[in-house]
Structures are given as structure tokens and as C-alpha cells.
Amino acid sequence: MPLLQVRDLRTSFHTRDGIVRAVDGISFDVGAGETVGIVGESGSGKSVCCYSLLRLIPQPPGRIEGGTAMFGDLDLLQLSEARMRKVRGKRISLIFQDPMTSLNPYLRISTQLIEPLVLHERISPSDALARAIAELEAVGIPDAGNRIHSYPHEFSGGMRQRVMIAMALITRPEILIADEPTTALDVTVQRQVLDLIKTRQQELGTAVIFITHDLAVVSEVCDYVNVMYAGRFVERAPVETLFVRPRHAYTRALQRSIPAMQKKGEPLHTIPGLPPNLAEGVTGCAFAPRCEIPEGAPAHATTRPALVELGEKHWAQDCPGCLAMTG
Amino acid sequence: MSYLELEHLTRHFVRREGWPIPRKTLIRAVDRVSLRIEQGEILGLVGESGCGKSTLSRLIMQLLAPTSGSVILEGQRLADLPPTEIRKRRRDFQMIFQDPYASLNPRMTVYSTLAEAILTRRPELRRNRAALESAVAVLMARVGLDARYIRKYPHEFSGGQRQRIAIARALGPEPKLILADEPVSALDVSIQSQILNLLLELRNELGLTMIFISHDLSVVRYIADRIAVMDEGKIVETGEADALFTAPESEVTRALLRAIPKIRHRAAAS
């Protein structure tokens, strides 16, 4: 039995424009120590999916409509708020995209770092401080003993993201959810932060759910990848399979539109149009309007296609149009 | 003679710290930078954050006065011109910013944003509403926007479309140089490629000269003809885009190249 087993998770937002089905029936497993990626464009529902697991969706307007998320013998979606608080930040923690806004500018780093320890492990502040300093050293902050008493603004962006990682891992969680942890950073700092997450993961055996829109980052850090589009997974595969033998039209189009994969001088492959407006509801294959159907290919599904297994651990939405290979 | 030339361009800032007697430290944000850009060329400017890219772009845009050195456009030293003349010259330089959500005025329709840009170059259109409207429509068509949206506000557009409006606004004053500061890094991959294609198309059709600032080297490699790598205020390496990638000379460039996340699992066929 995997560490976390999510089945048919559905989250929607009830807005004035109608019901937005941001996450529309997704299932995935996270094994101990594994790195699972969720890739998608903005608005595809990848963050909502993870916030739902920790029940951080503002309700209303959000509502978790159904599904289960079995974490050991606990269903994260059914837990009482009091018991949820014992999981959140202790057994599952979260790193956000923007380290500038996720640290409290009024509080010293020390106060913010020892808070999870004091709350979850009820140890004395002085012991907590010693552990916090050790944790800062582990994420590579020099002179941690003095730096811990600084305020967030005294750190650079990359250092702040290190502090966030230290804060997330200080309680030794079983799962770390990283929501676009390097999007706001520049390349060299991104490299350092990715390496850091990886080494800490190996040292502590934490499982990581890695949310990103960057396929190159996915190919470097993830073991297993879920590609999300319009609130559902369109393709799921081990990382190697996904890049070597992508099957779904969306995955293939995404890979072709990366500048690094393109020769200079040739126009970049583009995906025409925009993702569907989820408030209007989606019938049939969600990618159909943007899919360039090759000559003589079968038509797209007219009902929302289900995932089918195509190979070992390789799933894709069963839409004849999207699965038709263009060669 | 090059189209645009930077000659030992330097800008220092003095930081005062401490009280009551401040310690002064000199920050060499841009340090004797010399560069040449030919007409119709796209120059990629890369470097880590804090290396002086933004200060350099503000010097070129004539938004900051250099401590020493000069910007020479078509053989004319811009620093020698009187301030009123510099104001007039400023429309020759236009910028495209990173975040199209922040760089467009939310209270102005596409029409008023673009009309304002066009009027800086062709003030005579102010009295000729029909001609102005058609000029706006031409501009919108140029960047791939439907003229039906002329009365819409920025919030009614998606990120990619907003960046198209921002590009149209930069083209409005018929500039000689466009400075694009991370124009695609806030956009999704599928939209990024649309905007990159548009920029290349505009360069080929209008002969635009462009400085493309980014920290994403794979994007810069794709779009730029030449790349300049900046570190601590200095240009440490310049070269043809592909050459710089395959045979980097400086350690800074090598470090930047090493840092790019790469797709490790490549399909044999593609």
C-alpha cells in the first residue's frame, strides 16, 4: 500500500460565473521516498489539487466534492480540523512558489522556524532553537547560529527559499509538497534549490509531490509524472516513458514547444488557442479544440475520456484523436 | 559604424550606510560596458540577478544618466544632446516588460493604450480619429490580435494576449530599438512559444533591432543572434548564440549553462 493514495478527488469553486470544476476526478499514488510530479499550465488545477489534500482551499467558494485521500489509515478529506492540524506541517508539509510572501516579514526567522517544533513536538524553545540552527546548516545557510535571528528581508530570494525548505522539513514530514518552488528564482539559484531538495529528500527519505510547469525540471527531479490539463490528468507515466514515448497529443505538443528542443531558425511549435474555460463546463475531450488532428486521424472523444493503461504504469486519456500519432 | 554602440558605459551608485556618519560604498552597477548592435539584430543579454542587466537597460533607455561613457545611436552621441532633445529621442527606445499583468494600465482600453503610443510619433493623427483608429487596427493585426477587441480592457485578455498588447504598444512609436526585459518568463510554455515566434516574425518583417534580456538561456539561444553574458557589471563574454553555447569561454557562462535544467530523456526519433 502506497504512502498516499488519492482516488477520484474532485474540488470545485462556486463562483458568480458558475461552478468551476478545478479538479475533476483525479487519482494518484505517492510511494515512500518517491518524487511524483504534477505538470500543467496555469489554471490546470495542479495547485488546487495539492491544497485540497491539505484542506487549504478557502471554503466557500471552494468545495471538495468527493473522493478519498488515504494517508495510512487516515482519509485526509474527512479528518476533523483538529486532527488535520496534527498532519499539516507535521507529517505533510508545503513549500510555496514565492518565498517573498510566504515568510512573515515582521517575525525573525528563528521565531518562524521553531514554531512547527513547538506546536507539533512540544519541546522547549531552547531545544527547538538548537534544532532550527542545525536545520539551517543542513540547507546550506552559512553562519546559521547568527543568521537565524535575522528578518526575512535580510536574506536573498534563494536564501529565503532555503529557509522555507528548512521550515518544511524540520518536523521530518513523510511527504513534502513543493508548489513551483523554483519558478520565482533565476537559473543558478534554481539549480541550487533543486539540488538541495534532492539531497535533503535522500537524507530524510521524504516523498515529494512536485508541482511545476517546467518540463525540464520535471525530467530532472521526478520519478513519476502526471500531466494535468483542464482539471484532469491526460497522461501519467514514469518519467522516462513520458519523455521517450509520450502518447497524448497535449504531452507531445508541450514537449515540442520548448525552445531548447528546437533548432535555431525554425519556427517554434505552438499550441493554438487557449485552455478551456472551466466555468463553462467541458464536454468531450478537453484538448480537442487545440489539437491539430493529422490527416485521416480518428475523431476526438465526445464524452470526457477515461484513463486507460497503455503500458506498464503508463496511462493516457482514451481519446482516439489525441492518441493518434502524428509521427 | 554600428547601429547602436555602447562605449565604456559606466554607472556607479553610492550606498550610504550607518549613522551618524554614513559609510560610503561605491557600487559599480555597470562597469565600462562596450557593445555594438547592428540594425535588425537581436542581442541576448544574460546574467544572474543583480549583475547589472536592469541598470544597463535603463542606461540605454536614457532613463538613467551614465557616470561616464556614452550611448551612440546611428553615430550620434546621445549624452551630447540637450535634455529636450533626449525627451524626443526617448520614443526611439521602447520596452516590453516581464509581467503583462502589471505593465498595462487597467483603466485604459486597448484602443487608448495603443492610440497614446501612436500619437507620440504621429501627433497629427490627433485630429483625425478615423485615421488613428485604423492605425490602431493595423497595429493590432500586426501582433495577431483581432480588431474586434479594440474597446476591451486588459483584464479581459489572457496573459499571452496581454503580452501582445504590450508588444503592440512598444511598436506604436515606431522605435529604433526594442528592449525586451524577460518578456516570456511570466507566460506558460505553450504561450511562450507563440510570443517568441511573434517577436522573430516582427524582426524579419520590420527589421527591428532588439535587446532581449533573460535568465533563461535556452530561450535566449533560440531567439538571439548574438549573446552577451554579464557578471558584476561587466560584459564577460559575447559571441554568436550557438558558438557561445557549444564553446563557452568564461567560467560565468559555463556556470550559467550548467545550471539550466535539461530534458534528460530524449526521444530517439525527434
With CA atoms as reference, report the closest residue to A5 among A40, A35, A24, A31: A31
- Separation CA A307–CA A310 (nearest Å): 9
The pLDDT of residue B205: 87
Q: What is the pLDDT of residues A301-312, one digit of tens each?
A: 888 888 888 888
Mean pLDDT across A248-258: 86
**3-state SS of A82-94?**
HHHHHHECCCEEE
Mean pLDDT across A214-226: 90
Question: ω into residue A289 within 30 of 0, thus cis?
Answer: no
Supply φ then ψ for residue B128, to 5 degrees.
-125, 80
Q: Is the Cβ pair A270, B256 closer than 8 Å?
A: no
Using a CB-CB cut-off of 8 Å, the residues of chain B touching A189 are 48-49
Using a CB-CB cut-off of 8 Å, the residues of chain A touching B265 are 219, 239-240, 242-244
The pLDDT of residue B265: 67
Question: Does A209 score more than 90 pLDDT?
Answer: yes
Q: What is the pLDDT along chain B (270 residues), one digit of tens a residue?
A: 688 999 999 999 988 888 888 888 888 889 999 999 999 899 999 988 778 888 898 898 888 888 999 889 888 888 888 888 888 888 888 999 888 888 899 999 999 999 999 998 888 888 889 999 999 999 998 888 888 889 989 988 888 889 999 999 999 988 889 999 888 887 877 788 888 888 998 888 888 899 999 887 888 888 999 999 998 889 999 999 888 888 888 998 888 888 888 877 665 444
With CA atoms as reference, report the closest residue to A206 among A60, A288, A92: A92
Considering CB atoms only, which of B48, B194, B258 is closest to A270? Answer: B194
Q: Is the Cβ pair B260, A187 closer than 8 Å?
A: yes
The pLDDT of residue B241: 87
CA closest to B254 among chain A residues: A188
CATH of the domain spanning B4-105+175-259, picked from 3.90.226.10, 3.40.50.300, 2.30.40.10, 3.60.140.10:
3.40.50.300
Q: Is the Cβ pair B263, A260 closer than 8 Å?
A: yes
To the nearest whole angstrom, how far is the Cα of B197 from the nearest Cα of chain A? 6
Report the SS3 class of residue B264: coil
To the nearest whole angstrom, how far is the Cα of B60 from the nearest Cα of chain A? 23
What is the set of domains in chain A, with CATH numbers? 4-229 (3.40.50.300), 232-323 (no CATH)
The pLDDT of residue A294: 67
Question: Does A97 score more than 90 pLDDT?
Answer: no
**3-state SS of chain A?**
CCCEEEEEEEEEEEECCEEEEEEEEEEEEECCCCEEEEECCCCCCHHHHHHHHCCCCCCCCEEEEEEEEEECCEECCCCCHHHHHHHECCCEEEECCCHHHHCCCCCCHHHHHHHHHHHHHCCCHHHHHHHHHHHHHHCCCCCHHHHCCCCHHHCCHHHHHHHHHHHHHCCCCCEEEEECCCCCCCHHHHHHHHHHHHHHHHHHCCEEEEEECCHHHHHHHCCEEEEEECCEEEEEEEHHHHHHCCCCHHHHHHHHCCHHHCCCCCCCCCCCCCCCCHHHCCCCCCCHHHCCCCCCCCCCCCCCCCEEEEECCEEEECCHHHHCCCC
Count of Cβ atoms closer than 10 Å to residue B176 Cβ: 17
The pLDDT of residue A5: 92
* Single-letter code of the amino acid located at A283: T
The pLDDT of residue B269: 40
The pLDDT of residue B8: 92
To the nearest whole angstrom, how far is the Cα of B264 from the nearest Cα of chain A? 6
Cell of A70: 488515504
The pLDDT of residue A6: 92
**Residues B193, A269 contacting (CB under 8 angstroms):** yes
To the nearest whole angstrom, how far is the Cα of B217 from the nearest Cα of chain A? 9
CA closest to A158 among chain B residues: B49
The pLDDT of residue A327: 47
Long-range contacts, B257-262 (Cβ 8 Å, 24+): B257/B217, B258/A191, B259/A187, B259/A188, B259/A190, B259/A191, B260/A187, B260/A216, B260/A260, B260/B216, B260/B217, B260/B218, B261/A190, B261/A191, B261/A194, B261/A214, B261/A216, B261/A217, B261/A219, B261/A220, B262/A216, B262/A219, B262/A220, B262/A260
Mean pLDDT, chain A, rounded, equals 86
Pick from B189, B198, B240, B245 the residue to mutate for testing the A interface (most A CBs within 10 Å): B189
Considering CB atoms only, which of B188, B242, B255 is closest to A264? Answer: B242
Question: ω into residue B20 within 30 of 0, thus cis?
Answer: yes
The pLDDT of residue A141: 85
Assess: ipTM above 0.90.
no
The pLDDT of residue B74: 85
Q: How confident is residue A155, by pLDDT bands cut at 50, 70 and 90?
A: confident
Residue with cell 550607518: B18
Burial category of B255 from C-beta neighbours within 10 Å (exposed 0-12, middle 13-18, buried 19 and up): middle
Domain ranges of chain B: 4-105+175-259
The pLDDT of residue B268: 42
